[in-house]
Amino acid sequence: DIQMTQSPSTLSASVGDRVTITCRASQSTSSWLAWYQQKPGKAPKFLIYTASSLESGVPSRFSGSGSGTEFTLTISSLQPDDFATYYCQQYNSSLFGPGTKVDIK
């Protein structure tokens, strides 16, 4: 079975910082990788699919990269609305990573 990991589990950052979150799969997942943002008490918001394609309406400061077993989500300049938990998902098997919480430094 594929296992998904994310690092770090928590990331403290300031507004304006460049933030990078890593997602790793225990075996190749090609580019079937999505990213979601979740705020407390809310449903996840779909951000990125096929590892690097931005969903319509998602700000361009979000970007994704990677293929195979290692993927990254980058926020180029962190905004106040971006403090949240981020999940990757290998959607071919619908498996989610454990999440990375981005909080205020």
Partner 1 sequence: QVQLQESGPGLVKPSETLSLTCAVSGYSISSGDYWGWIRQPPGKGLEWIGSIHLSGSTFYNPSLKSRATISIDTSKNQFSLELSSVTAADTAVYFCARHPGGGTPSDFWGQGTLVTVSS
| Sites for partner 1 among residues 65-104 (CB under 8 A) | 87, 89, 91-99
Peptide bond preceding 8: is omega within 30 degrees of 0, i.e. cis?
A: yes
Amino acid identity for residue 2 in this structure: I
Which stretch in 11-19, 34-42, 64-72, 73-81 sits in contact with partner 1 by CB under 8 A? 34-42
Question: Smallest distance, Å, CB 60 to partner 1?
Answer: 19
**Residue 66, by phi and psi: left (phi above 0), alpha (psi -120 to 50) or beta?**
left
Question: Smallest distance, Å, CB 21 to partner 1?
Answer: 14
Copy the structure tokens of residue 17: 């910082």
Amino acid identity for residue 70 in this structure: E
Task: Classify burial at 4, counting beta carbons within 10 Å of its beta carbon; exposed 0-12, middle 13-18, buried 19 or more.
Answer: buried
Does 55 interact with partner 1 (rule: CB under 8 A)? yes
Among residues 45 and 61, whose Cβ is nearest to partner 1?
45
Residues 21/65, Cβ–Cβ less than 8 Å: no
Among residues 17 and 54, whose Cβ is nearest to partner 1?
54
Interface residues with partner 1 (CB under 8 A)? 32, 34, 36, 38, 42-46, 49, 55, 87, 89, 91-99
